[in-house]
Amino acid sequence: MNTEELIQSVRKARQASSQLALLSGRERNGMLQSFHDELMKQKKRLLEANARDLQKAGDYGLSEAMVERLTLSEKRIEEIAEGAAQLIQLPDPCGRTLKRWTLPNGLDIIRTSVPFGVIAMIYESRPNVTADAAALCLKSGNACVLRGGKEAHFTNEAMTDILHEVLRGAGVEEAAVTSILDPDRSLVHTLLTLRGLVDLVIPRGGAGLIRSVVETSTVPVIETGSGVCHTYVDKDADLAKALPVIVNAKTQRPSVCNAMETLLIHQQIAPECIASVFPALRAKGVEIRGDERVRALDPSVLPAVQEDWSTEYGALILSVSIVDSLEDAISHIRKYSTGHSECIMSENKETIRKFMNSIDAACVYANASTRFTDGFEFGFGAEIGISTQKLHVRGPVGLEPLVTYKYKIFGNGQIRE
């Protein structure tokens, strides 16, 4: 595929998008149902395609974790199908009246939610993302241009074929789901600069992938980011409450972005807090790295270096610092936060209020685990990631941010004086 062919493909996707935008919510749900059904019927075909990719995994030098993510099984395919079917239950994000008002001159203005048009998804070698991204776009009335990792080539090809069958069955042009299977990297670069043809880019994957998309794209991007999440134990904290929250935030699933990486403790409560929290964390296998004041109270703690405060460990490691005041906690967080999720443990309402208002993050918690920052936990019924930027959507990205709006304005011959 050369640049011109890519542009032609995206043009076709754009054309198909206007067809999709006119479908009813029921028709779009029908496609999700038939996608579910076809996935269940065509497991064998998907597994065969996946086996071809897995055979080549060695040539690509994939790590064990990457092979694991690439691998399909009957059970995984069923989960993917189930994911598509679950979207049917969610309310239609399109065609909602977001606001309506009438001007003194009689113009009736309706702000209505509508699909973006064409959404490009850039992701790694995870075939479930292909299915998930396409299903979210079908639900929200958007055409999609999918660019997954080359290591999933055959699986993505089979998945795309199934999606095309679904589209044909609904009388929609196949280009509504367009996969760019050619591994040439320059195609991604071109795709990311097709302003006017592509309305939105969503990168899904590791920090490197996201940064590269953000730096290249001239099309607007919804960026999902990393989390250096803090929990601050205030002098007015209830330690019996704090202990399980801290252990949960660090250890329940340490590899994800909403896990806690740094614990800040008010000096007045530090000896007591450390005495109860450190043993519990160590019992879960957590390595603790602390500043000098922490090590003065517990010499078995490893010394934290400057880099620790800005590191997303994604592992059972925790950095701990003792602070003199709420203000010190806030300024530590301001300095090192990635704007994801931050928590205060305190029983003092005024202290909580100050913390909530001063911390610049997508989610600011009082007395609960940062692990709740998640589209499903929030009740959104879907999740594309956690946005740590502030434009359009912040925090968990569900279905709602996959639509934009337009104004419909009804007049009776009004002119501007």
Out of 41, 100, 284, 406, name the contact with its own copies by CB under 8 A.
Answer: 406
378 near its own copies, judged by CB under 8 A? yes
CA dist 383 and 362 (Å) reads 15
Sheet holding 341-345, edge to edge: 302-303, 287-290, 317-323, 260-266, 229-233, 341-345
- CB contact at 8 A, 59 and 354: no
**Cβ-based burial of 298 (10 A; exposed 0-12, middle 13-18, buried ≥19):** middle
Question: What span, in angstroms and rounded, lies between the C-alpha atoms of 319 and 350?
Answer: 27
**Token code pair at residue 144:** 């999609």
Residue 4 carries which side chain, given as an amino acid letter? E
Nearer to its own copies, 132 or 223 (CB): 223
Interface map 114-143 toward its own copies (x if CB under 8 A): x-xx--------------------------
Tracing tokens 């699986």 back to the chain, one arrives at 155
Pick from 89, 199, 277, 316: which binds its own copies (CB under 8 A)?
199
* Residue 212 binds its own copies, judged by CB under 8 A: no
- Here's the x/- map for its own copies, 239-278, by CB under 8 A: it reads as --x--xx-xxx--x--------------------------
Least distance to its own copies from the beta carbon of 231, Å?
12
- Which of 155/341 has CB closer to its own copies? 341
Single out the residue of 52, 195, 282, 284 in contact with its own copies (rule: CB under 8 A). 195
Question: Of 181, 214, 280, 315, which lies in the binding site for its own copies, with binding defined by CB under 8 A?
Answer: 214
> Which residue shows structure tokens 């800005």?
310
Which span sits near its own copies by CB under 8 A: 41-49, 102-110, 275-283, 309-317? 102-110
Out of 204, 371, 397, 399, the residue judged to bind its own copies by CB under 8 A: 371
Q: Is 369 in the site for its own copies (CB under 8 A)?
A: yes
Structure tokens at 113: 């939610």
Judging by DSSP bridges, how do beta strands 118-123 and 200-204 pair with one another?
parallel
Give 349-358's long-range contacts (Cβ < 8 A, gap of 24+).
Answer: 351/234, 351/236, 351/326, 354/326, 354/330, 355/232, 355/234, 355/326, 355/329, 355/330, 358/330, 358/334
Number of shown-chain residues binding its own copies (CB under 8 A): 66
Q: Is 280 in the site for its own copies (CB under 8 A)?
A: no
358 belongs to the binding site for its own copies (CB under 8 A): yes
Binding site for its own copies (CB under 8 A): 18, 21-22, 101, 103, 107, 109, 114, 116-117, 195, 199-200, 214-215, 218, 220-222, 238, 241, 244-245, 247-249, 252, 334, 352, 356-358, 360-369, 371-372, 377-379, 389-392, 394-395, 404-416
